[in-house]
Structure 1
Amino acid sequence: MDRQESEEKTQSTADMTAFVQDLLQQMQNRFQSMSETIVSKIDEMGSRIDELEQSINELKSEMGTEGSPSPLTPTKAKPEEPADGST
């Protein structure tokens, strides 16, 4: 192997190393960006869940203070009178 081939091989190796380092940096940047986006979305969902929970609790307290029966609580029906009018 002569000197020129050795230099070309060294340059090729350096170019490949630089390419791989650049590629890894790009991947790391993309991963960081996606991680930040995911964390942001999770925080946003947490806030929405908290707001929903607060709204549900407010509705529960409004229903309790109005004294209206719960839709799940059966109401007592009046006994039916006989059709012929006798009691």
Structure 2
Amino acid sequence: MDGQDDAKQSTADMIAFVQNLLQQMQLRFQTMSESIISKIDEIGNRIDELEHNINDLRAEIGQEGTPSPSDPMKTGEEPKSGGDS
């Protein structure tokens, strides 16, 4: 009967080991998930800030008035070249 007791103890040890391993994996998964969510929130905040800055720049450009026709870079037209070399 001593062999059966050893087998039961071995099985109990294996069960405890597997449960411990699963708990560690769950903790690591939870930590990684929280880290990923945190980074996604940070990226979202950065995107919001960029959108705000872009809107501010658009407002500044709109307040400057219309570009003069003599400046092709402000009108979005292609600059005229003096000649083809």
What TM-score do the two structures reach when normalised by structure 1? 0.78
1:13-52 to 2 correspondences below 5 Å: 13-52=11-50
Q: Which amino acid aligns with 2:38?
A: S
**Structure 2 residue aligned with 1:61:** 59
What TM-score do the two structures reach when normalised by structure 2? 0.79
Q: Tell me how far apart the structure 2 counterparts of residues 71 and 58 of structure 1 sit (CA, whole Å).
A: 18
Name the % identity. 58
| 3-state SS of paired residue (2:77) | coil
Shift of 1:71: 3.0
Number of positions where the alignment pairs a residue of Structure 1 with one of Structure 2: 74
Deviation readout 1:6-54 (Å, 9 max, x if unpaired)? 1000000000000000000000000000000000000000000000000
Q: Which has the larger radius of gyration?
A: 1
- Listed as ranges, the gaps of 5+ residues in structure 1 are 78-87
**Structure 1 residue aligned with 2:76:** 73
**Pair 50,14 (structure 1): closer, same or farther in 2 beyond 3 Å:** same
Q: Which amino acid aligns with 2:20?
A: D
Q: RMSD between aligned alpha carbons?
A: 1.9
Q: Which runs of 4+ in 1 moved over 3 A?
A: none
Shift of 1:66: 1.1
